[in-house]
């Protein structure tokens, strides 16, 4: 029984390490990783509820889209007027 618990603990530890590394490798904030301009947020209620720390974004300039780490900041006036693209 102890062997099963040790193996289960190592599997859970591996999953936790992989999750942390994958989270840290994601780009941070609303700036595009290629052209460094603000990207538009692609809203998805299910994804926002499931993983609130991450956000899907799309770059109008170069077309890059992907998942980024959500940053806490107040939107500027120009960002507040931009329409959000529903998924
Ligand atoms: Zn871009």
Return the domain boundaries, the chain: 2-86
* Mean pLDDT within 61-84: 74
At 50, which helix (H) or strand (E)?
Answer: helix 45-50
Contact (CB, 8 A) for 38 and 30: yes
Residue 38's DSSP bridge partners are 31
pLDDT grade for 71, boundaries at 50, 70 and 90 = confident
Q: Give the tokens for residue 41.
A: 């947020």
Beta strands in the chain (DSSP E): 40-43, 54-58, 65-69, 85-86
**57 CA to centre of ligand 1 in angstroms:** 10
The Å distance, Cα 21 to ligand 1 centre, comes to: 24
Single pTM value for the model: 0.66
Contact 17, 60 (CB under 8 A): no
Average the pLDDT over 20-26 and give the result: 95
What pLDDT was estimated at residue 74? Answer: 57
């Amino acid at each position: 029984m102890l062997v099963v618990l040790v193996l289960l603990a190592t599997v859970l530890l591996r999953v936790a390490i992989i999750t942390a590394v994958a989270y840290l490798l994601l780009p941070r904030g609303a700036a595009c990783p290629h052209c460094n301009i603000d990207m538009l947020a692609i809203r998805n209620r299910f994804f926002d509820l499931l993983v609130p720390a991450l956000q899907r974004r799309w770059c109008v300039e170069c077309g890059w889209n992907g998942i980024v780490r959500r940053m806490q900041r107040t939107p500027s006036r120009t960002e507040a007027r931009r329409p959000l693209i529903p998924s």
